[in-house]
Amino acid sequence: MRNSFWLLILAASVSIASGQPTRKVSFPMDQQVEQLVAGGDLELISVDAGVATALFTDRSRTGGPALSALRGLKVLSPDIDQELAAFRARGNVGLYHTAESTAAELREVAARYPALCHLESIGKTFEGRDIWALRITGAADPAAVPRMLLFGLTHAREWISAELPFFVIHQLLDGYATEPAIRKLVDGRCLWIVPVLNPDGLAYSQSQYKMWRKNRSRRGPSTGVDVNRNFEVGFGTGSSDAPTSDVYHGPAANSEEETRALLALVKREKFHVSLSLHSYSELILYPWGYSKADPPGKSVLAGHGRAMGKLNGYRPGSVAQILYDAGGASDDTFLARHGCWAWTFELGTEFVPPDSQIKSICQKNWPAVRHLIEASAELATTPPPTSGAASVDERLATLERAFLDSALVSPGIDPLGELVATVQGQLPEDRALAAEVERRAAVPAWTRLYAPLLGLPR
Ligand code: 0X9
Ligand code: ZN
């Protein structure tokens, strides 16, 4: 119940195209809201002590119960976009970073600490913004020390998730000269920090529609892909095929600039550890998101999850086991395909906490982040059991080799069965492989070879 409920929360999407104001409402959750959610008019935000908070945009096309039919309805805000208007009236977004101030501050920091920093654009977004990554290390040979990736703002509205990366940057760099323990840490590690993975989304959330979640790519009939549903592992599970959905996975795995930029960095730097930052719910998450099965290295993931939970007070657990099924997320792919231990924090109790809480949320989480930076030494020597797991191409090549040389196939292994099952979507975790098989099936030479085996027309 809890899982499907949370899935509903994410599966809902709100459009601003209707011209109607988006109201923020609350009501007791013990009543049917599925039709309103499915119609796209209602987006549940949270449920606390049985009371739901939701956004409602009346487009009068659900055919289901009207919002007014809900018992105990309270209108908390007649027009939530007024919240942004308030920001705009102040001419800024409070203490929060924007896409521009992120770039500016990273440049400033890199210039102030040239011996410890290297600033790099790891790619350009759909709208042409740079995705900035700052490398911090005092090691003479960065390739010889444990490597960790820390990144925030995958989701546009989760502004607080870009603030902790900056706090960490300042703890490490400003503390370097005065705190021997920090100096030792910076000298003994290589840390890459991407405060804002999705600058297009952030800019839109800060100027147009605060509740925007996706990026701003426009490749099809509608705008935006959920970057955290666009990675390869579990692509298509716990996400939506509908381009208008808030959890739209995109036309194919890795279709998005942000996904590809981060992946290229992960492949190049071969990180031992990664921490992705989201908001909100005060959780420490680890794979899998795509399946309720235990991930490889579960004891390590859970062990550090608990250790960090003691430091920030957050609740640790596997995504699919304590939250909802969500495939195509960065952490699953990093763990399964890139030998990189992966955790995700859900910071705080709202997407954009008041300015006055930014610092305390960062302070509360810094010891947990520091724990992981420290632990990266030990984690670097114990890669996850599936480390080096094959890419789609490699997995397909393996299957092809087995196909073509069936004499070599050992008893008990059935590559044809595996391929067919994959194509039929029976291995949901391998939707990327299935998509690739389907794509290649359109290539005549490939089809001639495999059509009879797959039962496809030649
Ligand atoms: O659903 C997500 O992408 C993240 N939660 S959020 O509310 N910030 O959108 C959690 C991602 C956790 N990891 C996996 N799903 N694998
Ligand atoms: Zn998120």
Taking only the tens place, the pLDDT of each residue in 276-310 is 999 999 999 999 998 888 888 999 999 999 999 99
Q: What is the pLDDT of residue 401?
A: 57
Q: Indicate which atom in ligand 1 lies nearest the CA of residue 330.
A: 16
Residues lining ligand 1, CB < 6 A? Answer: 155, 158, 228, 278, 285, 287, 289, 319, 326, 329, 331-332, 344, 346
pLDDT for 409: 36
Whether the model clears a pTM of 0.85, i.e. scores above it, the answer is: no
Task: Determine contact, residues 263/293, Cβ cutoff 8 Å.
Answer: no
Residue 42, burial from CB neighbour count under 10 angstroms (0-12, 13-18, 19+): buried
Whether the pLDDT of residue 363 is over 50: the answer is yes
326 CA closest ligand 1 atom index: 15
**In this structure, which residues have their CB less than 5 angstroms from ion ligand 2?**
155, 158, 278
Indicate which residue of 346, 418, 429, 436 is catalytic.
Answer: 346
Ligand 1 pocket check: which of 237, 281, 319, 332 to mutate, most ligand atoms within 8 Å of Cβ?
Answer: 319
Q: What stretches of 180-297 show up as alpha helix (H) in DSSP?
A: 180-188, 199-207, 257-269
Q: State residue 60's pLDDT score.
A: 58
Q: What percent of the chain has pLDDT over 90?
A: 53
Instruction: Give me the pLDDT at residue 160, please.
Output: 98
pLDDT bin (cut points 50, 70, 90) of residue 48 is low
122 membership: H or E segment, kind and range = strand 117-124
Per-residue confidence band for 55, with pLDDT thresholds at 50, 70 and 90: confident
Residue 197 burial class via C-beta count within 10 angstroms: exposed 0-12, middle 13-18, buried 19 and up: buried
Interior/surface letters 228-260, b for 16+ CB within 10 angstroms, e for the rest:
bbbbbbbbbbbbbeebebbbbbbebbbebbbbe
Of 218 and 79, the one with more pLDDT: 218
Both structure tokens of 1 = 């119940």
For residues 289 and 312, give the distance between their C-alpha atoms in angstroms, rounded to a whole number: 22
Backbone phi, then psi, for 21, in 5-degree steps? -65, 150
Tokens of 28: 């007791």
Whole-number Å distance, alpha carbon 143 to ligand 2 midpoint, is 30
pLDDT in tens, 221-268: 678 999 999 998 888 888 988 887 889 999 888 999 999 999 999 999
Query: Which tens digits make up the pLDDT trace of 394-442?
Result: 666 655 555 554 433 334 444 455 555 544 443 444 556 666 666 665 6
What is the pLDDT, as a whole number, of residue 406? 41
**Residue pair 323/283 in contact by the 8 Å Cβ criterion:** yes
Which band of pLDDT confidence, cut at 50, 70 and 90, is reported for residue 391?
Answer: low
Mean pLDDT, all residues of the chain: 82
Active site residue 438: no
CA of 121 to the centre of ligand 2 (A): 22
C-alpha to C-alpha distance for 324 and 240, rounded to whole angstroms:
14
Q: Is the dihedral of CA 187, 344, 385, 338 positive or negative?
A: negative
Q: Per-residue pLDDT averaged across 39-48, rounded?
A: 64
**What's residue 316's pLDDT?**
97
Q: Is the pLDDT of residue 59 over 80?
A: no
Q: Is the peptide bond before 192 cis (omega within 30 degrees of 0)?
A: no
Q: For the chain, give the percent of residues with pLDDT over 70.
A: 74
Residue 358's pLDDT is what?
97
- Give me the pLDDT at residue 23, please: 84
More confident residue, 415 or 193: 193
Per residue in 158-188, pLDDT (tens digit) is: 999 999 999 999 999 999 999 999 999 999 9
Residue 435: the pLDDT is 66
* Long-range CB contacts for residues 181-185, cutoff 8 Å, separation at least 24: 183/138, 185/370, 185/373, 185/374
The per-residue pLDDT for range 97-154, each reduced to its tens digit, is 999 999 999 999 999 999 999 999 999 999 999 999 999 999 999 999 999 999 999 9
List the end-to-end C-alpha distance of the chain, in Å, as a whole number. 45
CA distances from 265 to 249, 268, 334, 363 (A): 21, 5, 11, 28
Of 34-38, 57-61, 69-73, 227-231, least confident by mean pLDDT is 57-61
